[in-house]
Amino acid sequence: MTVLDAHLHVWDPEQAPYDWLGPALSPVDRAMRFRDVRPVLRTAGVTAAVLVQAADNDADTDLMLATAAAHPEVVGVVAWVPLDDPGRARDRLAELRRDPHVVGVRTLLHERSDPDWIAGPDAEAGLALLAGAGLPFDYPTASPAALRHLPGLAVRHPALRLVVDHLGKPPVGGGREDRAEWRRLIAAAAKHPGVHAKVSGLYPASGALDAWSTDEVRPFVEDALELFGPERLMYGGDWPISLLAGGYARTWESVCALLAPLAPDERAAVLGGTAARFYRLDPALLDAARDAAV
């Protein structure tokens, strides 16, 4: 079985601007490269990875593509394009699609001052471009409230595959009412078969990122399995942010424990099959990743 991490980042502040980095994130406020995480992935038995954009600029995407060219374990790149500038987006998509590693698009919705930006006319035009190109969209959120736009997007863009990053940031460590509101919003999104979700980045909603336990995360993963099913869920390690939450090994072991009750085929879906199908990963790249892991 190919174990696939569907949500990793690399970055280098000397090659691209990352406005959200700073002293509060000092352990990762530096170049974080794939060679740094590769030994950890091997120890966990992860054989392939999808890199996901970490800045809304071309330089970050170019860094990911260079990383993919240098490391056969990288089987996909979720790039950035300026969705609210359809002309530029069309040109950039045409350029990016020449590289078989480009499998999706994301923009940092949670860093924008306008919480409704994604539902605006310019962004909607950009999403229509993605649907026409057959590329999915990664949907990041800073809180569950941002999930409210997903049902409408799914209706207006029925051909667009959508994946919610980090299960929509559920309130890990929060109260019963917070969980109920998250579940209501994620359930509304899950009613649409084109919407998928990543079991990734499940850290506390406030306070220290490493102040969590598997038992605190469990109800949200159980809800996600009920609402989406394994066939629409995919694992993501969220490195290097996971370093702030106790390390990759800790989050990996937690996910393995949470998925243990599943049947083998269901577990295989979450740990690789769903992502391979959703991102339409190139079989040749997956074969190369498996060969590199031997």
Q: Identify the three-state secondary structure at position 213.
A: coil
pLDDT band at 105 (very low <50, low <70, confident <90, very high): very high
Q: Counting every residue, how long is the chain?
A: 294
Mean pLDDT is lowest, of 8-12, 119-123, 150-154, 217-221, for 119-123
Specify whether the CB–CB gap between 81 and 92 falls below 8 A: yes
pLDDT band at 293 (very low <50, low <70, confident <90, very high): confident
pLDDT band at 110 (very low <50, low <70, confident <90, very high): confident
pLDDT band at 254 (very low <50, low <70, confident <90, very high): very high
The predicted structure's pLDDT at residue 1: 75
Specify whether the CB–CB gap between 122 and 151 falls below 8 A: no
- Can you tell me the mean pLDDT for 224-249? 98
The predicted structure's pLDDT at residue 106: 98
Q: Which helix (DSSP H) or strand (DSSP E) does residue 125 occupy?
A: helix 121-133
- Can you tell me the mean pLDDT for 241-254? 97
CA 280 – CA 93 distance, rounded (Å) = 17
Q: Cα angle vertex 101, ends 19, 121, to 5°?
A: 55
Token pair in block for residue 181: 């509101």
Q: What percent of the chain has pLDDT over 90?
A: 92
The predicted structure's pLDDT at residue 50: 99
CATH of the domain at 148: 3.20.20.140
CA 81 – CA 176 distance, rounded (Å) = 38
Nearest-10 Cα torsion for 238, 242, 247, 250: -70
Specify whether the CB–CB gap between 166 and 200 falls below 8 A: yes
Of 184, 83, 166, the closest CA to residue 126 belongs to 83
Please give the residue that has the higher pLDDT: either 172 or 207.
172
3-state helix, strand, coil in the chain (%, to 5): 50, 15, 35
Query: 66: Cβ–Cβ under 8 A, 6 or more apart, which residues?
Result: none
The predicted structure's pLDDT at residue 28: 96
Mean pLDDT across the chain, nearest whole number? 96
CA 110 – CA 144 distance, rounded (Å) = 11
Number of domains in the chain: 1
Q: Is the pLDDT of residue 134 over 80?
A: yes
Could you write out the DSSP letters of every residue in 3-44? -EEEEE--B-TTTS--TT-SGGGGGGSS-B-HHHHHHHHHHH
CA 122 – CA 117 distance, rounded (Å) = 9
The predicted structure's pLDDT at residue 73: 98
Question: For residue 89, what are the CA distances in angstroms to 99, 108, 112, 185?
Answer: 16, 15, 18, 30
As a whole number of angstroms, the longest Cα–Cα distance in the chain is 48
Q: Is the pLDDT of residue 277 over 80?
A: yes
Beta partners for 181? Answer: none
Domain carrying residue 240: 4-293
Strands (E), the chain: 4-8, 48-52, 74-79, 102-106, 137-139, 162-164, 195-199, 233-235
